[in-house]
Amino acid sequence: MSNLASETTVFEQLEKNLPPVFSREEAARQMGGLIKAKTLSNLDATGNGPWVKIRIRKKVCYERRSFLQWLRQYVHQ
Protein backbone atom coordinates (compact mmCIF):
# COMPACT_ATOMS: atom_id res chain seq x y z
CA MET A 1 0.00 0.00 0.00
CA SER A 2 1.38 3.41 -0.94
CA ASN A 3 1.94 6.21 1.54
CA LEU A 4 -0.93 8.22 0.04
CA ALA A 5 -3.31 5.25 0.24
CA SER A 6 -2.32 4.65 3.88
CA GLU A 7 -2.87 8.31 4.71
CA THR A 8 -6.26 8.26 3.00
CA THR A 9 -7.27 5.20 5.02
CA VAL A 10 -6.24 6.91 8.27
CA PHE A 11 -8.30 9.99 7.48
CA GLU A 12 -11.29 7.88 6.42
CA GLN A 13 -11.14 6.03 9.74
CA LEU A 14 -10.88 9.26 11.71
CA GLU A 15 -13.84 10.73 9.82
CA LYS A 16 -15.86 7.62 10.57
CA ASN A 17 -14.88 7.36 14.26
CA LEU A 18 -14.76 10.96 15.45
CA PRO A 19 -18.05 12.40 16.70
CA PRO A 20 -19.24 15.70 15.16
CA VAL A 21 -17.79 17.61 18.16
CA PHE A 22 -15.07 16.19 20.39
CA SER A 23 -12.50 17.15 23.03
CA ARG A 24 -8.73 17.34 22.70
CA GLU A 25 -8.50 14.20 24.77
CA GLU A 26 -10.80 12.34 22.38
CA ALA A 27 -8.76 13.56 19.42
CA ALA A 28 -5.58 12.21 21.05
CA ARG A 29 -7.27 8.90 21.85
CA GLN A 30 -8.66 8.46 18.33
CA MET A 31 -5.20 9.11 16.86
CA GLY A 32 -3.57 6.56 19.13
CA GLY A 33 -1.63 9.22 21.00
CA LEU A 34 0.24 10.42 17.90
CA ILE A 35 -0.78 13.96 18.85
CA LYS A 36 -1.29 14.54 22.56
CA ALA A 37 -4.03 16.72 24.03
CA LYS A 38 -1.30 19.00 25.47
CA THR A 39 0.24 19.41 22.01
CA LEU A 40 -3.15 20.50 20.66
CA SER A 41 -3.43 22.94 23.59
CA ASN A 42 0.03 24.39 22.83
CA LEU A 43 -0.80 24.69 19.12
CA ASP A 44 -4.04 26.50 20.00
CA ALA A 45 -2.15 28.90 22.27
CA THR A 46 0.20 29.87 19.44
CA GLY A 47 -2.62 30.20 16.89
CA ASN A 48 -1.50 27.10 14.98
CA GLY A 49 -4.15 24.65 16.19
CA PRO A 50 -7.40 23.57 14.56
CA TRP A 51 -9.35 26.58 13.28
CA VAL A 52 -12.81 25.90 14.69
CA LYS A 53 -12.96 25.32 18.42
CA ILE A 54 -15.67 25.55 21.02
CA ARG A 55 -15.06 26.10 24.72
CA ILE A 56 -17.48 24.29 27.02
CA ARG A 57 -16.55 25.34 30.53
CA LYS A 58 -12.89 24.26 30.82
CA LYS A 59 -12.96 21.88 27.86
CA VAL A 60 -11.97 22.85 24.34
CA CYS A 61 -13.76 20.91 21.64
CA TYR A 62 -13.23 20.71 17.90
CA GLU A 63 -15.61 20.28 14.98
CA ARG A 64 -14.81 17.14 12.98
CA ARG A 65 -14.68 18.52 9.43
CA SER A 66 -12.48 21.52 10.20
CA PHE A 67 -10.26 19.42 12.50
CA LEU A 68 -9.60 16.92 9.70
CA GLN A 69 -8.85 19.73 7.23
CA TRP A 70 -6.39 21.23 9.73
CA LEU A 71 -4.84 17.81 10.43
CA ARG A 72 -4.23 17.17 6.72
CA GLN A 73 -2.29 20.45 6.53
CA TYR A 74 -0.45 19.76 9.80
CA VAL A 75 0.68 16.34 8.55
CA HIS A 76 2.20 17.88 5.41
CA GLN A 77 4.19 20.64 7.14
Average pLDDT, rounded, for the chain: 91
Q: Can you give the residue range of the structural domain that contains 29?
A: 3-75
Region 42-49 average pLDDT: 96
Nearest-angstrom CA–CA distance, 36 and 68: 15
Q: Is the pLDDT of residue 25 over 90?
A: yes
Q: What is the pLDDT of residue 18?
A: 95
The pTM of this model reads: 0.86
Strand order from edge to edge, sheet including 21-23: 21-23, 59-63, 53-56
Nearest-angstrom CA–CA distance, 4 and 12: 12
For 54, the enclosing helix (H) or strand (E) is strand 53-56
As for how many domains the chain has, the answer is 1
Q: Are 27 and 18 in contact (CB under 8 A)?
A: yes
Task: Give Dmax (Cα) for the chain.
Answer: 43
Region 40-58 average pLDDT: 94
